[in-house]
Structure 1
Amino acid sequence: MASLSLMHWLLMGNMGLLLLVGAFMWSLKRQQNQDANRLDQAVGSLQQAHQAMSKSTIGMGRKLKQIDGRLQHAERKVVLPTTDEATFQQASRLVGLGATASDLVDSCGVARGEAELIVSLKRQTAH
């Protein structure tokens, strides 16, 4: 067998190196494809989650709008007591707790005659 010349050794070395670089490049390309597939799956999952959240948010918005409409409708129906009614209710509660006519004049600002009338009516209903 004839001995190989330096040129042959260099060509075989270069061929081996080329095969090694080719295998490395193929491995990198394969890894890149796998990463791309995983990213595609992750993006798909995120898109589905986003769509579900969007639908849920829209549904919640509609429900809140319904509740707000009902609340506004109910608020229109509520009749707040007039200032005199509120004062009478407060005075009546105070008398129930044991307040006197003077206490009502001082705390509620009602006239002395009204305070005495409230006290006497409350006492009569208590008996």
Structure 2
Amino acid sequence: MLEMALGGLLVLCAGLLGFCLWLARRLREQAEQQQVQARGFEQRLRELNKRLDTYLTGSIRMGEELYELRRVVAPLPEKLNQIEQRDPSSLSFTQAARLVGMGASVDDLTQSCGLSKAEAELISRLHQAPRG
């Protein structure tokens, strides 16, 4: 009877040992899979960080250029007013720009403002509403 109990216990221990080995193997496999996934996530994170750095650098550069453009463009309305006050013939250019804004053609500009065809075309192209 003792031998049977020992034999049963031995079989049970062997089964537990086999089960433990199987669990250990599964645990190793899962750990390896997690490492592979972690490496993939790290690589993707590095790529996204590079892209973000590129976007940030571009945004900073664009902001600097926008600031420079604002600095250059800011005095233009005042300069235009000064030119209009000094030169009465420039009034026709201002009037032509307003007419273009209202949809006047090049022929309309040459007739109503006394501009040459080349001047009228230039004013028309400069002051046309951007096309979508």
Letter paired with 2:46: Q
Match of 1:55 in 2: 50
Task: Give the one of 39, 45, 52 matched to 2:40.
Answer: 45
Deviates more, 1:19-28 or 1:48-57: 48-57
Aligned length: 99
Counterpart position of 1:22: 17
Return the alpha-carbon distance in structure 1 between the equivalents of residues 14 and 103 of structure 2.
Answer: 104
TM-score by length of 1: 0.61
Rg larger in 1 or in 2? 1
Distance 1:55 1:125, change over 3 A: closer
Give the letter aligned to residue 18 of structure 2: A
- Structure 2: gaps of 5 or more residues: 85-90, 106-110, 117-132
Q: In the TM superposition, what is the alpha-carbon distance from 1:91 to its structure 2 partner? A: 5.5
Between the aligned partners of 1:77 and 1:62, the Cα distance in structure 2 is 23
Counterpart residue number, 1:105: none
Coordinate RMSD, CA, aligned: 3.2
- 1:95 positional shift: 9.7
TM-score (norm 2): 0.59
Which runs of structure 1 show a deviation greater than 3 angstroms over 4 or more consecutive aligned residues?
A: 84-89, 91-97, 123-126
Classify the secondary structure of the residue corresponding to 2:49: helix
| Alignment match, 1:3 | none
CA 1:50–1:15 in structure 2 vs 1: closer, same or farther (change >3 Å)?
A: same
Question: More deviation in 66-75 or 34-43?
Answer: 66-75
**Percent identity (aligned):** 13
2-structure distance, mates of 1:54, 1:14: 58
